[in-house]
Each structure stands twice: as structure tokens, then as C-alpha cells.
Amino acid sequence: MKSIVEAMQWRYATDKFLDTSIPTETLNTILEATRLSPSSMNFQPWKYISIQSPELREQIFEAGGKQEAIKAPTLLVLTIPNILTTHNVDNVVLAAAKARNADPSTLTGYRSMLQGFVDKTAPEKFFDWSRRQAYISLGVLLSTVAQLEVDAAPMEGFDAPRVNEILGLTDSSAVTLIGLGYRHPEDTHQSWPKVRFDMEEIFETR
């Protein structure tokens, strides 16, 4: 297996994919690593929708400016809730109780902390907050696929309201499309040099 730095050098935002599907076991590893992503207060405000229907994919292709990568063998849509409510609090508390083999009623302190956050947050702030959390999981996904030598195309350039409409999303919204698969030898993007700021430009010591 490549080291993490080798994997991050190897990966690139893929434009054109082969038709080859990702083996189920590999896809499950990618999804499991993504599922294990951390988030603030453990709210996990994300849901990935795998697009299997050719009709839905075609409509998303149109809504995504006909980007070639939307034709990748696997297409995921990263969605986030529009707001957080007591329902989200309940879900987190129940998951914690299940994982710890505890009665949810014993987690009142944790519940109060989560509910306090929901109560004090202005509704229009939730979306940006959830997007920040969801992008942690997107980062985990992108580095996991690189280590597994699976190619990825994250895409923000699409008509989100239109994709929400296509998928019938009312309480949540699409924030990123992710094509996954294997690079086509004719994809010229793979030969582009990696463009990143130098270390001293992004890290400093004080």
C-alpha cells in the first residue's frame, strides 16, 4: 500500500473514468472509513446518496453542467440537513446509548449539551455549520480512496436546488457530487503537476 503522502501525490481530481466498477469490498471499506469520520459534538450531519438509477444520473448530469466525471461508475451525492432539531439530538443520544450499552435516560448531561447547541443556534447558521462537519467526512473519503488507489472527482459546480428537486430532498440539501472509479488512460488531468502552496506558506511556528 502507498504511504499517505504517496497516495495524496497520486490522487487528482479525475475527469474521465473507465467503466470498471469498484469492487463491493473496496466500496464498503470507503464507506466504512467515511462513516467513522469525526464531527463536532458527534452530530454527524451528513448523508451520502448513491445514485443507481440511470434516469436520475442523467438528470444530475444536466444539473451538473454536463461534467464528464458525473458519469463515473459510482456517483455519490453528499447531503446535509437544512436545520438541526431535537430529532437530530435524539438520534445522537440513541446512537451513543447503543454504542455504550447504556440507557438513553442516563445520558441527560450529554442530551442537554446537544439540545443547548440546537436551541442557541440561529436557524440560518445550521447549514454552514453542517457543511463544515460534512466536509470532514468528505476529506476522510478523499484520502481513503487515494490510499485504496480508487480515483475520485469531488464536484461543487452544480445546480444544488435542481439536484435537491431531482432527488426530492426537502429537509436536506446536496452540497457535493462525488464521482468514484478508476482513471481513464486518456484523462489528461492525471499528467498535470500537483499545484500546492509551499510548506512555509501554510504552516508557521510562533
Ligand X SMILES: Cc1cc2nc3c(=O)[nH]c(=O)nc-3n(C[C@H](O)[C@H](O)[C@H](O)COP(=O)(O)O)c2cc1C
Name the site residues for ligand X (rule: CB under 6 A).
12-13, 67, 154-157, 176, 194
Minimum Å distance from CB 15 to ligand X?
7
Residue 76 or 92 with smaller CB distance to ligand X: 76
Residue 51 or 93 with smaller CB distance to ligand X: 51
Residue 70 or 114 with smaller CB distance to ligand X: 70
DSSP class per residue in the chain: ---HHHHHHH--B---B-SPPPPHHHHHHHHHHHHT---GGG----EEEE---HHHHHHHHHHTTT-GGGGSSEEEEEEEESS--HHHHHHHHHHHHHHTT--GGGGHHHHHHHHHHHHHS-GGGHHHHHHHHHHHHHHHHHHHHHHTT-EEEEE--S-HHHHHHHHT-SSEEEEEEEEEE-B-TT-GGGGSPP----HHHH----
Minimum Å distance from CB 98 to ligand X?
32
> Nearest residue to ligand X, using CB?
157
Residue 16 or 111 with smaller CB distance to ligand X: 16
Minimum Å distance from CB 31 to ligand X?
18
Minimum Å distance from CB 191 to ligand X?
11
Residue 150 or 155 with smaller CB distance to ligand X: 155
Minimum Å distance from CB 99 to ligand X?
30
94/104 Cα distance (integer angstroms)? 6
